């Protein structure tokens, strides 16, 4: 089943001359919808990282997300613009280190690749995150 989300961005682009004097400001206001399908794979086998005399189980995984992002509104300097959309491939790689049955540290790296050439709705930068995965219920793992 596809997942669905939305968002809004307000961006200001400023142009300066050689004397650092502001010569132009371009304001963009965009709302958009995102629909995506994602396939995940993670290893059931975990390796251990030994730190300070303690073993921490580590596992790895990857996901491939295919997203459709469509502008609902696009305003530049309060003037409506032609809306754009694009389809993106978003590979994601992650590593998790289990600290307890309820808490894991997670590192992810990902990127996105636009399948269509667009002026405004184009691919972004690579993303690296560090975070925590917290299990707030459910069954405890059997190991």
pLDDT in tens, 81-117: 999 999 999 999 999 888 888 898 999 999 989 998 8
Place of tokens 């399948």: 115
pLDDT in tens, 117-132: 888 888 888 889 999 9
Structure tokens at 20: 């650092």
Say what the pTM is: 0.68
| DSSP bridge partners of 49 | 56
């Amino acid at each position: 089943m596809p997942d669905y989300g939305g968002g809004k961005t307000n961006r200001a682009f400023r142009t300066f001359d050689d004397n650092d004097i502001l010569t132009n400001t371009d304001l963009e206001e965009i709302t958009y919808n995102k629909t995506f399908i994602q396939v995940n794979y993670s290893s059931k086998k975990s390796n251990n990282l030994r730190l300070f005399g303690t073993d921490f189980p580590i596992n790895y995984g990857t996901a491939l997300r295919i997203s459709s992002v469509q502008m609902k509104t696009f305003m530049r300097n309060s003037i409506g613009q032609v809306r754009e959309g694009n389809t993106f491939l978003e590979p994601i790689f992650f590593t998790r280190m289990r600290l307890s049955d309820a808490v894991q540290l997670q590192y992810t790296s990902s990127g996105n690749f636009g399948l269509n050439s667009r002026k405004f709705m184009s691919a972004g930068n690579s993303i690296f995150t560090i975070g925590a995965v917290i299990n707030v219920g459910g069954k405890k793992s059997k190991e």
